């Protein structure tokens, strides 16, 4: 099959003119109002792809709704009237939903449930395909330690292992088992690589990444996507070692293809070829085009550098025909693998939006993280008298988060309406309208439910903040409400981790709900009343204050046993004199409405030889987990390792396994993990994977700060 594709691609290529080849490596944007311009370019050049977007900025500019008929029209032109009849890739940023919006990706990472996420993306792809889209710019896999960066919302959090599992799940959800299956979308792993290291969390900024960190922190999610068969990759805007990725042959060819084994094609991020001028690497678009194609960018997104200059570059010999052909072939092969030549059109299918909404609700419940629940305040009993307050009680659009371009199909309820639907009108005996009724004190309610959050427009692309604390108005509101002496439930709708130290004492219960899309509020109301349970665990650390950033669990040990995250302090010195070193809530943390007790960790055998490990032997590690509460509940059992002595400094803990399971009240289950070659090694700076002899601590716990460990050795 593969050889067939290669052969066919070469045959098609042999019939293409230079002009048509340049068309193939070009993506133009369809902005809704430029139908004729797009049609003309397709007819004349056989353009490779159209992106349905009129701005790159996280979709905050109103976008033209996608219509199947229009897409079919473009596809028809492409296959019937363009020079070689090559079908078109029709791309859009379908990120965490199309019609029905699911939780932001950071929220979905909190589910620790790749199978669920795969099924989420099956729904998303069906809706997008139904509108004629056949290519998406997702998953976004930027490893990030700085929540001031607005794009942390799009990624999978601070752990490379979790991110690689989520990456594979999203790719499989979009692409199915086989790219040629009807109704699937080609996925695009982005932004390759290192964009999440933007200094100070300032978007589009400089990044400083060692080869060692690149291999172990930034690349694993891309390895996950490539191993899952991702069809395309998008480069990042940043530079590494002084070379912008758009011009880096090392990153785009040596590492991506040579080390990771990627076989699809690379698209540039929006105008990132032309931006080589801004980096000071190219003097003009022509030089930028030459640098990019030589580095390994196969298709140019919207900035026309290839379109305008490739002919000249090839004719004068700066770019060889072979270099251009390589790019064209890669694009053709993906189109062939997708079966676009046989079946170019996406079709309308029966889509049950109700079912997708139910899946979205399930994703919300799996992503919500219960951070605090003093005196088992939650779930509330049906007859509790409540007061609803907070600015997010009435907001609707904000729940859709960044990158929700299409959205529609079901009406999003306000939080107030959703709670009213569950609790009944009579339960709400005091109803405060957002921030405007600051002066009111809830006197008659048993519990205050306060809906807090950040606007979606302070998250996403080109949105960075200096402070990740909740707004002063919302802080003031909480302090004021607390004067009532009533217990307060904080329902937090945020697109990034927030620093809650100042307000945490005012809140008796906290549920972190992210920006969770179409079913966010309905799910939140159900969770509050115990109709379902919040089962998410933090995929990122919640620091106490902004100044602790960067604060992440997989930290390296440092020289003097002073890693505050783990409560260490050296000679009475703290990390900071004015703040505790621990996070407010650590990675992997999340409570349940019931309680779990872990028995000590056991290993069937605690010593194996390196030879055996290399030939596939693994340690069988297990733990008993008992539901000690009165309710059935879901636990995420997490396995971390620490490579105690190694040839490189290794993190204090590294997640290497997790299992999410429902355990009945009173029941005890044995949870087993196998850890071997893939889990016990790390990458050297040159990309070589190594497993070394020595001792490892293995923790099987409910979050990264709990202790339940044993020691194993590789001899
Ligand atoms: C973003 C990408 C996005 C592209 C197309 C860029 O500005 O960085 O994530 O896929 O625009 O909209």
CA angle (444, 449, 452) in 5-degree steps: 140
CB 296 within 8 A of CB 266: yes
pLDDT at residue 554, rounded to an integer: 98
Q: Which residue's alpha carbon is at the smallest distance from atom 3 of ligand 1?
A: 56
The owner of tokens 């449930």 is 113
* Residue 237 DSSP one-character state: S
CA dihedral 176, 113, 641, 614 (to 10 degrees): -30
pLDDT at residue 430, rounded to an integer: 81
Q: Which residue's alpha carbon is at the smallest distance from atom 8 of ligand 1?
A: 269
pLDDT at residue 438, rounded to an integer: 60
Give this prediction's pTM. 0.98
Three-state SS for 427? helix
Residues 576-620: tens digit of each pLDDT? 889 999 999 999 999 999 999 999 999 999 999 999 999 999 999
The owner of tokens 């580095």 is 295
Alpha-carbon span 382 to 106, nearest angstrom? 31
- For residue 270, how far is its CA from the centre of ligand 1 (angstroms)? 6
- For residue 105, how far is its CA from the centre of ligand 1 (angstroms)? 15
Q: Where are the alpha helices (DSSP H) in 608-672?
A: 610-614
Element (H, E) at 90: strand 89-92
Pairing of strands 232-235, 607-608: unpaired
**b (16+ CB within 10 A) / e for 28-50:** bbbbbeeeeebbebbeebbbbbb
CB 497 within 8 A of CB 541: yes
Q: Which of 269, 508, 526, 643 is catalytic?
A: 269
CB 310 within 8 A of CB 328: no
Three-state SS for 471? coil
Cα separation values, 227 from 125, 152, 168, 190, Å? 20, 23, 7, 15
Pocket test for ligand 1, best of 55, 269, 275 (most atoms within 8 A of CB): 269
Pocket test for ligand 1, best of 205, 461, 463 (most atoms within 8 A of CB): 461
Q: Which residue's alpha carbon is at the smallest distance from atom 5 of ligand 1?
A: 56
pLDDT at residue 585, rounded to an integer: 98
- For residue 295, how far is its CA from the centre of ligand 1 (angstroms)? 20
Q: Which residue's alpha carbon is at the smallest distance from atom 2 of ligand 1?
A: 269
Alpha-carbon span 573 to 87, nearest angstrom? 64
For the record, the structure tokens of 235 come out as 């480069």
HEC assignment per residue over 689-705: EECCCEEEEEEEECCCC
- Nearest ligand 1 atom to alpha carbon 188: 10
Contacts of 343 (CB under 8 A, 6+ apart): 182
CA angle (275, 280, 283) in 5-degree steps: 80
pLDDT-flagged residues of the chain (< 50): none
pLDDT at residue 56, rounded to an integer: 63
Cα separation values, 603 from 421, 612, 670, Å? 49, 16, 12
- For residue 238, how far is its CA from the centre of ligand 1 (angstroms)? 13
Number of H helices, E strands in the chain: 19, 27
- For residue 158, how far is its CA from the centre of ligand 1 (angstroms)? 21
Q: 559-566 — which CB contacts under 8 Å span 24+ positions?
A: 563/652, 565/541, 565/652, 566/652, 566/705
Q: Phi and psi (nearest 5°) for 534?
A: -80, 125
Alpha-carbon span 663 to 384, nearest angstrom? 28
Q: Where are the alpha helices (DSSP H) in 405-564?
A: 415-423, 472-482, 520-528
The owner of tokens 């409400």 is 481
Nearest CA to 203 out of 272, 148, 158 is that of 148
Residues having CB closer than 6 A to ligand 1 are 53, 56, 93, 137, 190, 269-270, 461
**b (16+ CB within 10 A) / e for 620-630:** ebbbebbbebe
- For residue 380, how far is its CA from the centre of ligand 1 (angstroms)? 42
Q: Where are the alpha helices (DSSP H) in 298-345?
A: 305-316, 321-337
269 is catalytic: yes
* Residue 663 DSSP one-character state: E
**Start-to-end C-alpha separation, the chain:** 44
- Nearest ligand 1 atom to alpha carbon 190: 9
* Residue 60 DSSP one-character state: -
Q: Which residue's alpha carbon is at the smallest distance from atom 11 of ligand 1?
A: 56
């Amino acid at each position: 099959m593969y050889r067939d594709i290669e052969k066919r691609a070469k045959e098609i290529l042999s019939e293409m003119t230079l002009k048509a080849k340049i068309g193939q490596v070009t993506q133009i944007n369809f902005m809704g109002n430029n139908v004729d311009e797009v049609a003309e370019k397709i007819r004349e050049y056989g353009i490779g792809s159209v992106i349905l977007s009129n701005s790159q900025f996280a979709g905050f500019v109103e976008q033209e709704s996608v219509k199947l008929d229009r897409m079919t029209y473009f596809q028809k032109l492409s296959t019937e009237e363009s020079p070689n009849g090559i079908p078109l890739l029709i791309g859009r940023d379908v990120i965490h939903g199309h019609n029905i919006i699911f939780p932001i990706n950071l929220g979905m990472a909190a589910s620790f449930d790749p199978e669920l996420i795969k099924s989420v993306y099956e729904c998303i792809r069906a809706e997008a395909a139904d509108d004629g889209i056949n290519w998406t710019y997702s998953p976004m896999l930027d490893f990030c330690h700085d929540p001031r960066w607005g794009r942390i919302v799009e990624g999978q959090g601070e752990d490379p292992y979790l991110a690689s599992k989520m990456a594979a799940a999203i790719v499989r959800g979009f692409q199915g088992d086989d790219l040629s299956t009807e109704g699937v979308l080609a996925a695009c792993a982005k932004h390759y690589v290192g964009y999440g290291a933007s200094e100070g969390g300032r978007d589009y900024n400089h990044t400083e990444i060692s080869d060692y960190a690149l291999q172990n922190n930034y690349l694993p999610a891309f390895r996950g996507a490539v191993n899952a068969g991702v069809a395309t990759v998008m480069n990042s805007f940043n530079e590494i070692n002084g070379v912008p990725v758009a011009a880096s042959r090392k990153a785009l060819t040596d590492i991506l293809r040579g080390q990771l084994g990627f076989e699809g094609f690379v698209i540039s991020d929006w105008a990132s070829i032309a931006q080589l001028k801004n980096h000071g690497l190219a003097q003009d678009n022509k030089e930028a085009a030459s640098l990019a194609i030589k580095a390994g960018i196969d298709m140019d997104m919207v900035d026309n550098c290839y379109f305008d200059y490739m002919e000249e570059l090839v004719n004068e010999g700066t770019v060889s025909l072979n270099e251009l052909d390589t790019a064209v072939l890669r694009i053709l092969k993906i189109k062939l693998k997708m079966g676009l030549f046989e079946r170019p059109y996406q079709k309308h299918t029966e889509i049950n939006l109700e079912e997708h909404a139910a899946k979205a609700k399930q994703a919300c419940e799996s992503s919500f993280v219960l951070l605090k629940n003093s005196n088992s305040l939650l779930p509330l009993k049906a007859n509790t008298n409540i007061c609803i307050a907070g600015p997010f009680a009435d907001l609707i659009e904000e729940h859709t988060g960044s990158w929700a371009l299409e959205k529609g199909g079901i009406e999003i309820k306000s939080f107030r309406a959703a709670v009213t639907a569950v609790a009944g009108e009579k339960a709400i005996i005091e109803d405060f309208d957002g921030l405007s009724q600051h002066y009111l004190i809830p006197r008659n309610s048993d519990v205050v439910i306060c809906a807090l959050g950040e606007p979606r427009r302070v998250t996403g692309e080109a949105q960075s903040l200096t402070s990740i604390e909740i707004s002063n108005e919302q802080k003031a509101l909480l302090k004021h409400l607390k004067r009532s002496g009533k217990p307060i439930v904080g329902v937090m709708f945020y697109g990034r981790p927030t620093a809650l130290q100042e307000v945490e004492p005012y809140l008796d219960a906290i549920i972190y709900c992210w920006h969770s899309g179409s079913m966010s509020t309905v799910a939140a109301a159900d969770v509050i009343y115990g109709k379902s349970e919040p089962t998410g665990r933090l995929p990122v650390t919640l620091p106490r204050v902004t100044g602790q950033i960067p604060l992440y669990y997989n930290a390296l040990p440092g020289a003097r046993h002073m890693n505050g995250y783990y409560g260490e302090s050296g000679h009475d010195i703290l990390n900071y004199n004015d703040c505790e070193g621990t996070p407010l809530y650590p990675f992997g943390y999340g409570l349940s409405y019931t309680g779990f007790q872990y028995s000590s960790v056991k290993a069937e055998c605690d010593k194996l030889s390196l030879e055996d490990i290399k030939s596939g032997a693994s340690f069988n590690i297990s733990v008993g987990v008992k539901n000690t509460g009165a309710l059935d509940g879901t636990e995420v059992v997490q396995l971390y390792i620490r490579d105690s002595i190694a040839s490189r400094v290794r993190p204090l803990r590294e997640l290497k396994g997790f299992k999410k399971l429902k355990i009945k009240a009173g029941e005890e289950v044995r949870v087993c993990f196998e850890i071997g070659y893939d889990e016990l090694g790390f990458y050297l700076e040159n990309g070589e994977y190594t497993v070394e002899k020595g001792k490892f601590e293995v923790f099987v716990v409910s979050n990264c700060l709990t202790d339940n460990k044993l020691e194993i050795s590789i001899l």
